[in-house]
Structure 1
Amino acid sequence: MKFASFPFLFLVCFCSWGQKDKKIDSAVIAKYKTKVIQYINPKPDSALYYIKKSFKVAQKSSYQKGIADTEYLYAQYFRRTQQTDSALYYFQSSARRSENEKYNIGAAIAYNGLCRNLYLLSKFKDAEFACDKALLNINNEDELSYMTKADTYTALGTIYKQQDFIKKAQMYFLKVDSMHIKKSLRPDVIAAAYQNLGNIYLGFDDFNLAESYYVKANNQFEKLPAAAAEYYMSTNNVELGKLYFKQQKLNLADSILTQSQKFFFKIKDLSNAAEIGTTLGLIKLKKNKIEEAETHFTESFEFYKEFKFNLQAATNALELAKLSLLKNSLQKALSWSQVGIQLNKSINNSIIKKDLAFVLADIYIQLGEHEKANNFNEIGYKIKDSLSQIQIAETIKEIEGKYQTEQRDEEIKSLKAENELAQQQKKNQRNLLVAGLGFTTLAGIFLFLLFRNRQKTNKKLKELDTAKSNFFANISHEFRTPLTLILNPIDAAIADPSLSDNKREQFIVAKRNSDRLLSLVNQLLDLSKIDAGQLKLHIQKGNIQNIISGLAESFKYSAEQHNISYKLNIEKRKEESWFDKDALEKIVVNLLSNAMKYTPKDGDITFNSVIENNTLLLRVKNTGVGFTKSELENIFMRFYQTDAQNEGTGIGLALVKELVELHKGTINVDSESKEWVCFSVSLPIDENSFKDEEFINATANITSSYKVPLMEESEVIDDEFEASHKPILLIVEDNNDVRSLLKQNFESDYNILTASNGQIGIDLAIERVPDIIISDIMMPVKDGVFLTKTLKNNELTSHIPIILLTAKAGDKNELEGIEIGADDYLTKPFSSKILKAKVSNLIAIRHKLQSRYSQEIVLTPKDIAVTNLEEQFLNKVQQVLETKLIESSFNVENFSKAVGMSRMQLHRKIKALTGLSASEFVRSQRLKLAAQLLKTSDINISQVGYSVGFNDHSYFAKCFKDTYKCTPTEYAKKHESS
């Protein structure tokens, strides 16, 4: 087990944030670090949020020790998320900064982290050197220094164990155990040593001793906070699974490892998941499930190979070679063996070398090449003899026995000393009793104050946690909302037939640039594809120089604004080339943006683009402050910035380099005179440079950017709505400009109500009962989700169709919107035409339902209700009508009181369901009842009107004729025969 969880992380509370240190709010930073500890293993992205907060506090006060500590936390985050290069950079930066500040314990901790990161990459010499540096910086005997020393011994033991120096590894792990006996170590530190000792004894098939150490490790892990305990005990379960496998308890091993792997996949700890995959492969092989075994080995190999964990990758290559040999796939077995040999060159692991030699011997025997088989057999046995495993195992036992004896001797001495002290302690106890009572009183007061303060702190931390969640959700929202405001007015302007050709051309350019901006936003949100290895080339044919020219021209205005001399030398070509348009755009735009950012006023930028021998050569040169040799070496490193005060994220040039290499090209930077910087890019653009699967059928075009002015806020509630026959549309949107845009799009066909947040929207919907609602999801006070749930669960408003607008793209978010009761869902930036069509369709569906309801002879709620709440409302109406309809005094006022609504609310609800006003609905129901009586009863026709609630026969006859196109008498005669 690599112990990838990094037990040392619990040392992040190490910082000596003293009271004299530049008035830094140490309590806030300590709380941030507590959150980092809580989240780093189960939720690393949450930990990153608090790391950034901590860094801002330290940087604001220019407190170098605090910055060094936070760089260490950044390194931990990148290590946890398998971004090893970034982790190395931050460990090194933290160590250097700490040494410059003579902050010895900070340097020791950073070097410890660097050591662990390096041995995962199988860079054992460098890792050993880093651990030695950590120990050199420990020059105190305080608790933190003691813990750091113990944890560094564990790291050194792991280094030697991975190189098969078992005796030396065991010595360091037992040193940690001795330190624990002398002075208790923190649970995660001593547990790491126990776990590694268990691994050593498992390697020599001493199952009882191995299990005893694993149990010891779990006993320590149980003392940690719940989330951390679950994580670390899961790492220990991996070792127990290996133990059960070796004991041939295959089902038990399979069960515990499968469960642990699910846990690690859930928290995206792919390193531990891959390690489990290797053991599961061995288990499946034992169960003769060959295909499942091959899948596990292959998945683990691919992970380890990608992240350069050569030892583990070589181990899986070895297992795949054995498996291929078992399947009689000799060439495949030979190929996997060669892969294993290449990977093992950098680590020179004797056991892997020995096993590969024996596998190759078996392969060549089956291929009939006996001379080669004999050679590899000879190599294998030589390595096996040199290892002297039996002798090593006996030595290990001897060390363990000696250690146990020394431990017992120490315990005897300790007991004697304790006995001598016992008598003296009795005398002291009397004196301490009085002092203890006073101290207890003071401690009680102190604990009460501490408890109250902790409650306040916990409340603040919950608020910070909520703020963090909102922050990540708002990123997408804040990108897409402005794009909506850009695209809609442009579309409207282009569609205007009165627009001049010159103006239309300008808007087409703006449209093209806006589309490109949207494309860049989407690419920004998908940057993780690079790390996941999911970013693929999309090669297409086009005039590459025309596209480059268009991109370069878009920077002219910026150059003029900053008084920069901007020279373009772009070779004109008619021939088309093969390239990835998106990759090319990002390369050119990032390089030119970088040049614009760092070129001073009155400076110079030169951009050259030529094609030679089917290769595109780009050159961006700008004046300004050049780079040092050290800066040039790190300039393409992700998150690297030459000056911490510079704007940006430090990923632009790193992204350029990755895209250039993805495009089979190269990039170089030169800055000899320290007065200028020059980036040179070489990209192949011929068809033969790319694989078949990298081509797409498309022609490349050009895009750019544009910004529109903001509109004034508009809030409209029309009191004359009832006089209009237009449907009422309620728009709920917190952004003034989007709200105004929506109002302008719909006001010609709808009466508009607007609300600036979800709560106002709910209040307006209940008061005015609109025909349809368009609502944003992310809003202050109450959001669109709350609005939808509230209105869909309110009898008065449950029938109202709701369309949700959101900046969060993806099927999952759309499904969430539909599941909470929304009738439709649209992602920003949206098309006005599509939104209008959706609104119109939902209104049309409502009209069809109204038509059906209005034709019902009597209300039958279960047949006509769309939702349970509508059925509930119609049942209530039915009950009222059954008891009150025939009363001549029954009117709309009585009706509204009977169903618990205002007159207007009842009117809007009935209108929405049937298309009739409340009074028309009552009259309609009375006429339907009269028609029923005329068909089925012998009652006198003159009495029918009075029987159903009309108090004027003439008025009844008129209404009946208007509805049924005949008098009551004629209607009765028509239905006599039936």
Structure 2
Amino acid sequence: MIKKGLAFILTSIWFSSFGQDIPEEFLVHQTQMDSLSKLSKYDDALQLAFQNLEIAKREGSHLLLGKAKSKISHLYFRKGDYDSTTYYAKQAMNLASANRLPEVMTSALLSLGNVHYSKFEDIDAIDHYQKIDSISERYDEKNSHVVNALFNLGKVLLRTYSVQDTSYIGKAERYFRSAQKIASEIGNPEEEHFGYIMLGNIYGQRREYEKAIPYFKKSLAYFERMDSNKRVADIYWSLGIIETDLNNYEQAEFYYKKRLDLLTQAENPEEIANANRVHAGFLQRINRQQEAIPYLEKAYDYFQVSDAGHSGILLGITSSLAEAYRKTGDFEKATEFYSQTLVHQDSLDTRKQKSLALDLEAKYQTQKKEQEIALLKSQSELAEERKKNQQHIFLGGIVLISLVTLSLFLLYRNRQKTNKRLMELDTAKSNFFANISHELRTPLSLIQGPVEQQLENTLLSKEEKQNLTIAKNSAERLTTLVDQLLDLSKLESNFYKLRVGQGLLTPFLKSLVESFSFKANKKSQLLNSDISIDKNNYWYDSDVLQKIIVNLLGNALKYSPENAEIHLSANIKNGNLLLSIKNTGKSIPQEKLKKIFDRFHRSHEDEPGTGIGLALTKELVELHKGKIDVKSDLDSVTFYIKVPVHEKAFSANEKDMHSKPTTQKPPHQKNEVIPIMDSKASISKSDENMDIVLIVDDNEDIRTYVSSLLQENYHILSAENGEIGFQKALKQVPDLIITDLMMPKEDGLKLTKNCKTNDTTSHIPIIMLTAKTGDENQLEGLEIGADAYLTKPFNNKVLKQTIKNLLESRKKLQKRFSQEVILTPKDISIDSYDQRFLESLQNILDQQLVSSNFNAEAFAIAIGMSRMQLHRKLKALTGQTTSEFIRGQRLKLAAKLLQESNVNISEIGYQVGFNDHSYFTKCFRETYGLSPSEFSKNKTF
């Protein structure tokens, strides 16, 4: 009763701060709803929430309406009804935006963000939570919704990356501490102590258990006093994981059992089933399979009845049961659960296929109806037009035919002369632009080179360095202008041809937005996107579309002040891509909007610019058969673009017939996330003849997009950061690595250094692909050992050709090494680490090659690598497998002995490690085309 009374008083105080007289019934319902929610009685709470909605309508209060609708959205979220959650949250958001109600804004955005969080749509979830953080700072709004948003931001980071990463954990920690600080300021001890749990998880992720345990125990004491069994159970779970990792299995089991006992008392069947599943996982980890089975069976009984197979949990349980029964010798039961595992896997695949089929059918029917309506309309208009034309022709045709013929003849002759003159003028103008642009490139190069050389001089004064930097930046701006002039000249002379191909739009667009994040951060600007496009392939010219978006986003960042917000949204409607790019902080007068796309017109007189960029953008949009428009409000400018992306919009000669549609692999099945967990994944190579490319980037959309460009010709691996990337490079030994420069945990520079200084990976070419521009950054990447450095947004063709050139360069080294009798790399262009490796290789060959027991396994042990690592390393350097390499070296040594000595041929075979003379002869003939005796007779061979 004391708690309920206190809650009622706090609610009354909060409402009174808005200067509104709130009906007591509304406040009572609010307090009762909070109590019912804690008891998971969401249906009862919803009844009260809808009663409050009626009270709000009766009172005509925007604040009460917003509060009621946002509360309804939160309750629907608790019930798992995400559609209703979104519906009421958006209504509340519209009310809050129109009437500037920051507390309602944060509440509604929290509901929307939680829906995305629950669906593992991490980018959209982060976007909504960060908006809450921005509203909190802008309006100095501090409430429980802001606290929850900050906690969820940290939790998204903790689950988005692998637990092997550590640098990203610092970001999560900052969010947790901010949330805890606000919770303390608004007097919310429950959320404040929840912050201790999150900080415990942070130190647990870092394996700093001596720091993690005090945080967990501090929060444990509080939640035990408050009889909050769910929170206490979660803390026991985290402590159990820590003790397991410390090999304190007895203490760990104590915590797991305590958690299970608490949840059993709460009588929540799903949480009990999950606790049984987790306890079983612990027992299986310490190889107590027989004891794990009863817990697994209890979890299985619940999830089987609740039809939880769609979440993948039931699949995991049947797989664990099958493994447990197999290890305990009950093969009949093991077979039974293995069969069920296959059934559940098939069920998951079938549901995905059925959902895809229904979606395609709906789209097909909609498109079909639209086409039928358009056809009927055009037929009707055509018939009416024919009727009118026939009447006009009948009445006036005979009288005017002679005059029309004469007029047409004169008009045609004059038009021919005019067109010829205009074409000559256009050609002269285009040639002028093309020639002057090319001529400018030579002096630009001669300016930039000496300026950059002078900037490297450490003896320069501050003023001299500042002046040279201005000259360098001006030269770079002039280079951009030259490129724009060249593009304009190509468009005018019809040399710029449209080349559309099929591809996924979402990763392409998100990668372009992400490439501007570095520039936005430098100006403290908020850059976000809302891309709602399905995973179908669409037809578009990636080069043209990239230049359009880069020009508009570049302008938005350039002309917006610090702390401004830039927003890109994209969706598909009726086969058209609809894009809008909005930037806040500046506006354009209406009289200037009419001329904004004119060449050399500058919309911002107080800002530097040439007036070419937007003119070029308009012509590129029209080249892609689209339209562009612009609108300006009091403090914002928005560009709207509409371009067709369906196949019928383009002619055959505009299509790139060599392009193939990109595909996106289905998302990883994600199970329940626990506070601290080890995650290990292995990826096997599917085709021995395909080169392996490892893509390392902390942005999932960039990884997806680059993968879609390369997966046709290469086997693709991916990693979220430098540390995981290096571990995968050691394990898989890829043929090439593409890495971002700025990443959490370990960045691209650290990854490059690790790879280039390790014998297993030193030979791997590395491409840095990053949004961090500037010669100093490029130089740093190349100095550390990167083989190429490309800036985002990147040209697809340049990336593909760079990869091809680096791999072909490696193949030339393979050919050279494979021809060496003795490995002598000193006269070949390779780095010192590869040279050191080859020298180690030669030492081992000198000592062990002639031994008949020297095989691939012995070779791997001697060099200190796994068999697969040695196989991939030798394959990269020589083009041969380990066995082929050993056999080849033996045959080369045999050939050398046959040329330089008169030893018996069979003895030479034994000397170089062959036990079987006939096998030695067979291998020698396959390699040199002659038998050993024939080869020996021909000493000049």
Give the TM-score range, shorter chain.
0.3 to 0.5
TM-score, L = length of structure 1: 0.34
Larger Rg: 1
TM-score, L = length of structure 2: 0.35
